[in-house]
Chains A and B, each alone.
Chain A
Amino acid sequence: GENVEQHPSTLSVQEGDSAVIKCTYSDSASNYFPWYKQELGKRPQLIIDIRSNVGEKKDQRIAVTLNKTAKHFSLHITETQPEDSAVYFCAASILSGGSNYKLTFGKGTLLTVNP
């Protein structure tokens, strides 16, 4: 099936620790893997993305790694801060039918950073 699995569903860390969220996908034709952050009552917003021709991408405290062979990708947040507390979603751009791609999301991870 064309789905994206995300783990864990909840994650609690102490301020300053690292947080890792993992996702797997089923379609080997997938070529784009974004991560979104959603604060309570707000819309999802992109924090980082990676394309299939790259294995790792970093932006300050946030990094994403992609293993195309194993079909999994991960979000790494270092030196976590209370304002990192939110729901994080992974997604994959999955080929559907003929030549169209759809953006499919994982079920989300509620990250809580304790002061």
Chain B
Amino acid sequence: NAGVTQTPKFQVLKTGQSMTLQCAQDMNHNSMYWYRQDPGMGLRLIYYSASEGTTDKGEVPNGYNVSRLNKREFSLRLESAAPSQTSVYFCASRLDDRNTEAFFGQGTRLTVV
């Protein structure tokens, strides 16, 4: 039982390159989330999926796209990376989107140069 698994753990991109961050959970959770963490800014919600088949924008969605591939997997895509997207990205999942605990992946440290 691995919980929430993110890949990769570290990535360096050049400005303009694209990449997809992968996230998978094995807890049969319905809701999944992508956050970015920057110093002094806390955890800001990028996109979320309350249930399989639905995705919604969070607080900072510009420059990102998501795909809820199936119940287990929720990917985050940067189509044209910018230095402002340098951050630590966390994926999280919850049994449902009401009042249950969120479990986090180990994070992806992304640097855009």
Contacts and interface: CB of A to CB of B under 8 A. Distances in A.
B102 A34 contact: yes
Contact of A46 (B43, B44, B102): B102
B56 interface: yes
Interface stretch (A60-68, A73-81, A93-101): A93-101
B56 A103 contact: no
A102 B60 CA distance: 13
Nearest to A99: B50
The size bracket of the interface on B is 20 to 34
A28 to B, nearest CB: 15
Interface string A79-93: 000000000010101
Nearest to B96: A101
Interface residues of A, number: 26
A43 B91 CA distance: 10
Interface string A9-47: 100000000000000000000011010000000011110
Interface in B48-92: 48, 50, 54, 56, 58-59, 90, 92
Count chain A CB atoms within 10 A of each CB in B43, B59, B90, B100 and give the residue with the most.
B43
Interface of A is mostly: strand
Closest 7 CB pairs of A and B: A32-B99, A107-B42, A100-B50, A105-B43, A43-B104, A101-B97, A108-B42
Interface of B: 33, 35, 40-45, 48, 50, 54, 56, 58-59, 90, 92, 94, 97-102, 104-107
Given A46-B101, A97-B56, 17 more contacts: A32-B100, A34-B101, A43-B90, A43-B104, A43-B107, A44-B43, A51-B99, A91-B102, A93-B98, A96-B56, A100-B48, A100-B50, A102-B33, A102-B48, A103-B48, A107-B41, A107-B42
Interface of A: 6, 9, 31-32, 34, 43-46, 49, 51-52, 89, 91, 93, 96-97, 100-108
